[in-house]
Chains A and B, each alone.
Chain A
Amino acid sequence: MKRIIFIITSLLLFAAVSCEKNGTDEGTAGGGESSLTYETVSVAGHDAVVVKPIDLEAGAPVVVLLSDDMTLRSLSAKAPDINFKAAEHCLIGRYALCVIGTEGSGDVSFLSSVGGLFPEASKLYLLSYRNGLSYTAAMKMPDAFAAYGCVSGAIDVEAYRANGFQKPVSFVHVHATDNSVYKWNGVEDKYVSVPLSVGAIVALDKCITFENSDLLPREGKGRVTCTHYINGQSGCDVKLYSVESGDNGWCDQEFEVYNQIWNFFKTH
């Protein structure tokens, strides 16, 4: 009898978990061993979605992702967008992801309100996707985040002309060398070249040297090289992942980009 009760209970639990995995419950999305909740919020007038594991520990770190509005709409509608993969990674990393729509805005002052949304967060990290706002934030608010990152973006030329980097920051950048929008060597009057964007932080951090390592390539995909700028006299470090294939995206077909970014963040 005990065995029958145990089996029925197990089946019920399995069904409940499967239901959540498929994202059919209101307010959940994603996959993996646990499930995600999402919540629509406003950050100083900017639409945002907070995604986090349903059983996330209090005080867990928060990754703020500045993305385009399309990504945000996809998240809000629970559409099977590629950016869900980025969201799902917070199950592995055990952090909350706050995706903020930023299309068409070069202003980052709204980021000063993010901390108020997560008063218990142990750390706040900033990542920008398909834009260079994390660089702008690193210029204007270098103390607001424990580390900064950029995927498929670069320093905005206007922001760079108007501002400069003042304080050392730790930074990770992922970029495809063939990116057709944020071109590797820069786009005149729009985006700074990727090596010079990263180089600006390396100089700011007074890094002394670098280590190159090639990641294991995936079948049919190009080489991924990680250049780690170290020995910074400020204690900060910088990583650049250059991806030989891929375009203006996450480069997640080429390597474990979410893991790599999170591994960088969590050491800061």
Chain B
Amino acid sequence: MKKIAIVFAALLLCQISSAASIKTETIQDQGLTRTYHIYIPDNLPADAPLVFVLHGYGGNASGYQPAFISLADEYKMAVCYPQATVDPKNRNGWNVYYPWQIDKMQVDDCEFICTLAKHLQTTYNLSERNTFFCGMSNGGEMCYLMAYRKPKEFAAIASMAGLTLVEMTKRHSYTEPVAFMEVHGTGDVTSRWEGDPTNQYGWGAYLAVPVAVGAVAAANKCMYEETTELPQIKNKVILHRYYGSPSGKEVWFYEVRNGVHSWATDSFDSCRAIMEFFKMNMR
């Protein structure tokens, strides 16, 4: 009996010691020490894809959306959770031109993410071509900003409940087609489906979600649409697939009927959908 227990304990220890773990690291960028968490699955092959996952406003990278950890093992991709800095409202936030950030927040988070991507690609021998980007809410806004500013740096971008602020449209134009995905609840009262043209709700004026997604589809010159209703779990989820772009870059738009401001995991496996979208867009 003792022998069995010893063997079992040894096996357990062996398992623990070989299991990959999330490492917390820092990098210097724009005069700031930036923190991020990186997960490299065991036996990850060289030149494996890298996925960024950005938290929302006031959020924290530590322990954020753990679903991507097990998915990273399954899809054989590295995952990085960067931490936003403290913004002028004294909350953790990505600089996406919220009214209180304009002219007061100096950090350029798009540049930071690109610098971090290069650092991780070099340090962990990850793929430069297959680096992907996703984020929720404030992190979702970063997705649109990244599509405007750094479309070539990422093989695909996926926004969860993200927005295009009017300020972004004033400062930038889409210059390159980009594979893009949006998941959004029609009942989201934080990042409203119908937009907020007059900044009634304080986040700054922003586009209606279908208009924002349509702008990416138009920039890609997508020509056709395929509509699919997913098997219903809670809220009805409709996938609008815009395709036929000369570049081959598609736009996938998950409309979650009556969905709220969330990852919508109660209605479909949104994290897996993101990973599938990324896998589909491997270069």
Which segment of A35-43, A88-96, A200-208, A260-268 sits at the interface?
A200-208
Are B223 and A209 in contact (CB-based, < 8 A)?
no
Which segment of B22-30, B60-68, B154-162, B205-213 sits at the interface?
B205-213
Are B246 and A209 in contact (CB-based, < 8 A)?
no
Q: Could you mark each residue 204-244 of chain B with 1 if its beta carbon is under 8 Å from any beta carbon of chain A, else 0?
A: 01111011001101110111111100000000000000101
Residue of A nearest to B222 (CB): A196
Known: A186-B225, A207-B211, A209-B208. A233 touches B169 (CB 8 A): yes
Are A202 and B244 in contact (CB-based, < 8 A)?
no
Q: How far is the CA of A71 from the CA of B214 in the complex (A)?
A: 34
Are B215 and A231 in contact (CB-based, < 8 A)?
no
Interface residues of A (CB under 8 A from B): 155, 157, 160-161, 164, 185-188, 192-193, 195-196, 199-200, 202-204, 206-210, 229-231, 233
Asked whether B166 is an interface residue with its Cβ less than 8 Å from the other chain, the reply is yes
Residue of B nearest to A193 (CB): B225
Interface centre among A161, A187, A202, A229 (most CB of B within 10 A): A202
Asked whether B151 is an interface residue with its Cβ less than 8 Å from the other chain, the reply is no
What residues of B have a CB within 8 angstroms of the CB of A157 in the complex? 223, 244
Are B215 and A203 in contact (CB-based, < 8 A)?
yes
Asked whether B41 is an interface residue with its Cβ less than 8 Å from the other chain, the reply is no
Asked whether B88 is an interface residue with its Cβ less than 8 Å from the other chain, the reply is no
What residues of A have a CB within 8 angstroms of the CB of B225 in the complex? 185-186, 193, 195-196
Shortest C-beta distance, A211 to chain B (Å), equals 8
Shortest C-beta distance, B188 to chain A (Å), equals 15
Asked whether B197 is an interface residue with its Cβ less than 8 Å from the other chain, the reply is yes
Partner of B217, one of A187, A196, A204, A208: A196
Are A185 and B218 in contact (CB-based, < 8 A)?
no
Shortest C-beta distance, B209 to chain A (Å), equals 10
